[in-house]
A = this chain, B = another copy of it.
Amino acid sequence: MLRFYLAGPEVFLPNARALGEAKRALCADLGLSGVFPLDAALDLGGLGPREQGRTIYRADVSLMRRCDVIIANLTPFRGPSADVGTAFELGFMTALGKPAFAYSNCAESFIARLARFSPSGLHRRTDGQWADQNDLAVEDFDMLDNLMLHGALAEGDLFLHQAPAGRELTDLTAFEACVKAARRLIA
């Protein structure tokens, strides 16, 4: 049975485990094995904080190596872009040659999000590039986030769904579409 690594910032939610179960159940209905990062049963007792973090890191890396596909939740997290942990995992699985699929519960374009996070809006730099209030270039490639993330996707695009306010990290509409497409393409 194909193993899907379910990456995303929902691990930070109070109900992370329940959401993980819902994602796994959805995969199971499609004949797939969903692997949620919290699935590793870890004994962190007696470890200092740094060593706890390292132990979780090693467990997640080990889970990724034993999965066949990554489904990354690239919903913006604490800023205009995706969660950095998820970005790391997307890069990791891509380098291993494992197919990568992604979704976002925010349907707003990247450039619109960047404009919203730039208090004075965007402007044209003297080199012709669009830039934010710190004169940092904003990418204008018709992509849904940084080009390294978008470039890695097998489908060439994200699966998008505008989740209702408050459900940005819990809505599974786009997740389901993404998993079904991945299954159709590779299972």
Residues of A within 8 A of B (CB): 9, 11-14, 48-50, 52-54, 56-58, 60-61, 78-85, 87-96, 114, 117, 125-127, 129, 131-132, 135-143, 145-152, 156, 169
Q: How far is the CA of A9 from the CA of B148 in the complex (A)?
A: 12
Question: How distant is the Cα of A124 from the Cα of B61 in the complex, in angstroms?
Answer: 28
- Residue in B78, B131, B142, B149 whose CB lies within 8 Å of A88: B149
- The listed residue with most B CB atoms (<10 A of its CB), out of A81, A85, A139, is A85
Known: A14-B127, A88-B88. A53 touches B143 (CB 8 A): yes
Q: Chain B nearest CB: distance from A124 CB in Å?
A: 12
Can you list 10 contacts pairing A with B, beta carbon distance less than 8 Å? A14-B131, A49-B141, A53-B150, A78-B79, A78-B80, A87-B91, A89-B91, A91-B94, A92-B94, A95-B95
Given A56-B147, A135-B14, A145-B84, the answer on whether A92 and B95 have CB atoms closer than 8 Å is yes
Residues in chain B near residue A152, CB distance under 8 A: 57, 88
